[in-house]
């Protein structure tokens, strides 16, 4: 007897494909709605000191061993099953490596990956890790951003930052009135600065060699400028920021701390340096800042901007380009939340640079979402 042949009709094929697409859409929606689980679980792991515990072991540890280390620094041992579920979840996102034990989950082993190594606070010698992103993570996962996100729709309707709407004041005023938050914010910016500036001083080497004086506008506590003058000792550095920021800045050899308002006046120098500053402001305010920069430099002077450069078109085939675009657009939403500022594409930077009176610019790529933009009067 001949075997029966099943032939699917076009309508059946379409229905199955539609069901598959609907299921994928539902799963993607769930992934988005539950997206806060990743950063908050990572925050918990950092507060439990797990990246450092594993780093100090110079290899992977069993769940029980990690629990024992946590117990040694707390008043009570951790809930072992909860700890397992936390690490299993983070390992599923490649934040930790995992060797599961089929019979006893307490014997599952966990190690560091490239992601979790960025959250190791101390070096093996006991110093602070140069790749320590912990302050950045703790700031990003505090309750302040989440309260702001609840007002994002109001920003879309009315303009202005969601943070202002949530707290009735700007992020800058809030930081000025909350010393502990101001300290956390500056530490977060410093950890990013250490990573980015290591590339900046190399990529822009020829430019730094020609500079004799440099003002870091809104330079925080001087983290970026300290790296510049350490590598190029002939440069006289001026760290320029608001009074409440300068008040917490440490003494740095070769650097003078000066307080003031960049919208009113910027100290004169050969070069103006701004790292992650223009993204805090809308186009009109950026033009005002750049005009003050124009006034502060000589005719052959430069303005050196280190800021995120949003990839203009999506390229799913290039994983790095897609990641850079995704991060750039996420940062853009974050700036809408906190300051009403924005991350910019190359053409958007060109618009504000030319409107401020400058005639030319050159872009130097970095291995980060940020790039160096060298701006000239002629």
Judge contact between 291 and 320, C-beta under 8 A. Answer: no
Identify the DSSP state of 309. Answer: B
Q: Which residues are catalytic?
A: 279
SS3 state of residue 281: coil
Closest CA to 42 of 34, 50, 31: 50
3-state helix/strand/coil string of 163-208: HHHHHCCCHHHHHHCCHHHHHHHHHHHHHHHHHHHHHHHHHCHHHH
Alpha-carbon gap, residue 362 to 376, rounded angstroms? 9
Alpha-carbon gap, residue 366 to 226, rounded angstroms? 20
Judge contact between 110 and 94, C-beta under 8 A. Answer: no
Judge contact between 302 and 271, C-beta under 8 A. Answer: yes
From first CA to last CA, the distance across the chain in angstroms is 88
Closest CA to 373 of 232, 213, 200: 200
Strand order in the sheet with 255-259: 255-259, 236-241, 213-217, 271-275, 302-308, 370-376, 360-365
Cite the DSSP H helix spans in the chain.
10-33, 37-47, 50-57, 63-72, 80-92, 114-117, 134-140, 143-149, 152-158, 162-167, 171-176, 179-203, 205-209, 223-231, 243-246, 283-296, 319-338, 346-355
Burial class (CB in 10 A: 0-12, 13-18, 19+), 378: exposed
């Amino acid at each position: 007897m001949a075997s029966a042949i099943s032939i699917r009709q076009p309508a059946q094929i379409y229905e199955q494909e539609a069901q598959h697409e609907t299921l994928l859409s539902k799963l993607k929606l769930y992934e988005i709605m539950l997206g806060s689980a990743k950063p908050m679980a990572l925050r918990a792991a950092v507060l439990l000191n797990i990246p450092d515990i594993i780093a100090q072991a110079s290899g992977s540890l069993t769940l029980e061993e990690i629990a024992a280390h946590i117990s040694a620094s707390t008043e009570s041992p951790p809930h072992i099953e909860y700890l397992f579920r936390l690490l299993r979840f983070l390992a599923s996102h490649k934040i930790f490596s995992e060797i599961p034990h089929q019979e006893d989950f307490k014997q599952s082993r966990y190690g560091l990956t490239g992601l979790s190594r960025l959250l190791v606070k101390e070096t093996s010698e006991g110093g602070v890790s140069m790749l320590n992103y912990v302050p950045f993570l703790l700031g990003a996962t505090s309750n302040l951003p989440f309260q702001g996100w609840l007002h994002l729709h109001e920003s879309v309707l009315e303009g202005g930052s969601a943070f202002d709407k949530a707290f009735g004041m700007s992020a800058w005023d809030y930081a000025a009135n909350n010393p502990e938050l101001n300290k956390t914010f500056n530490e977060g910016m410093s950890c990013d600065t250490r990573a980015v500036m290591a590339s900046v001083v190399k990529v822009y080497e020829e430019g730094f060699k020609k500079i004799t004086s440099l003002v870091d506008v809104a330079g925080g506590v001087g983290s970026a400028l300290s790296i510049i003058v350490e590598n190029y000792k002939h440069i006289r550095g001026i760290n320029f920021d608001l009074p409440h920021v300068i008040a917490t800045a440490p003494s740095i050899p070769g650097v003078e701390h000066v307080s003031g308002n960049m919208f009113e006046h910027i100290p004169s120098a050969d070069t103006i340096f701004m790292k992650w500053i223009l993204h805090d402001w809308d186009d009109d305010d950026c033009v005002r800042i750049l005009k003050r920069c124009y006034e502060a430099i000589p005719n052959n002077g430069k303005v050196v901007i280190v800021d995120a450069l949003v990839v203009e078109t999506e390229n799913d085939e290039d994983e790095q380009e897609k990641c850079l675009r995704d991060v750039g657009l996420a940062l853009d939403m974050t700036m809408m939340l906190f300051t009403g500022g924005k991350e910019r594409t190359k053409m958007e930077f060109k618009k504000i640079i030319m409107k401020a009176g400058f005639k030319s610019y050159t872009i130097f790529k970095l291995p980060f979402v940020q790039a160096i933009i060298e701006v000239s009067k002629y």
